[in-house]
Copies of this chain bind each other. A is one copy, B any other.
């Protein structure tokens, strides 16, 4: 492998000149730059990442800590990941993937200076990783919202507003008895932030809209969905509007409703909270509140890069929910308009 010195020799300049051509941190005359670039080209030179990291304390790598936990929808995670990786490249960064059980990994990559920054997903209300990264020298942004962000930046869909929006939509269409088929019990047990925020918004809006709301946790399996639907229909038989906030269970919920002879879009209005492509790949195009996973991933990278460059203060960004009406929801017993 050619080194920067080889390039310098080939171009007839000093090492530092080559470095400055590469980094653009100092003005270089056009002819010199051209000679250097030609030499780089000819030698197929690539700077050594380790040497660069050592000298500059910059690795051009960010860590992405992704869950792979039971109870979270894998395709949705992947959308976040895709957003992060794509956007990271725009900033000339690569992505080191850390998984769930890898809590020690946090220490390794931060203390070992393996990465310039971190993005963490699947944040719990009281997440043990938060104090760890808050103490690290690398800037971090959380996808999700812990109880105490300890000065870290956060980004997420505004699930509380989403909960309100969903109820408002159903109540406005004349439904008086609505329900949530939500996250799996494990997710709730972990106090995963999005699930709790969703429920809060839901309950508040239900109160102020004067509708009843029943909440069912739901495993992302066929049997889990069946059970949730059956329980719901038993405990709250007057329900005419369901909000499903569980990508994995969604198809099975619809299947169970169909099995029980309930026609979605007619007998029962269903609002899904999920990425649009998931909403569209159900048996019926679903009325849904979009979970813009890929966008959120991108925003996360934007935020963390901003902190890396300037000394921005930390911030929390909650994206406004957008509801798109499709075939799965319709006016309820009290008639349209609420």
Contacts and interface: CB of A to CB of B under 8 A. Distances in A.
Interface of A: 1, 44, 46-54, 59, 61, 64, 68, 74-75, 77-78, 81-82, 85-86, 89, 94-99, 102, 105, 107-109, 111-114, 221-222, 251, 255, 281-283
B95 A96 contact: yes
A283 B222 contact: yes
Most B C-beta atoms less than 10 A away, residue of A82, A102, A108, A112: A112
Nearest to A52: B50
Contact of A46 (B47, B78, B112, B251): B112
A77 B98 CA distance: 16
B49 A68 contact: no
B113 A85 contact: no
A89 B221 CA distance: 30
A53 B113 CA distance: 12
B82 A99 contact: yes
B82 A78 contact: no
Contacts of A283: 222, 255
A74 B78 contact: yes
What's the number of copies of this chain in the assembled complex?
A: 2
Given A1-B111, A97-B85, A54 B61 contact: no
A105 to B, nearest CB: 7
A49 B53 contact: yes
Given A74-B78, A96-B97, 5 more contacts: A48-B113, A50-B50, A81-B97, A95-B96, A222-B281
A94 B105 contact: yes
A99 B86 contact: yes
Contacts of A46: 107-108, 111-112
A18 B283 CA distance: 63
A79 to B, nearest CB: 8
List the 8 closest A-B pairs by CB distance, nearest first: A50-B53, A46-B111, A50-B54, A74-B75, A49-B114, A97-B97, A49-B112, A74-B78
B44 A111 contact: yes
A98 B94 contact: yes
Nearest to A79: B74
Given A1-B113, A51-B50, A53-B50, A78 B86 contact: no
24 contacts: A1-B111, A44-B111, A46-B107, A46-B112, A47-B112, A50-B50, A50-B52, A50-B53, A50-B113, A53-B53, A61-B96, A64-B97, A74-B74, A85-B97, A85-B98, A89-B105, A94-B96, A94-B108, A94-B114, A96-B97, A97-B97, A222-B283, A251-B251, A255-B255
A99 B111 contact: no
Contacts of A255: 255, 283
B44 A48 contact: no
A212 B288 CA distance: 44
A51 B49 contact: no
Contacts of A59: 49-50
A108 B109 CA distance: 20
A90 B75 CA distance: 26
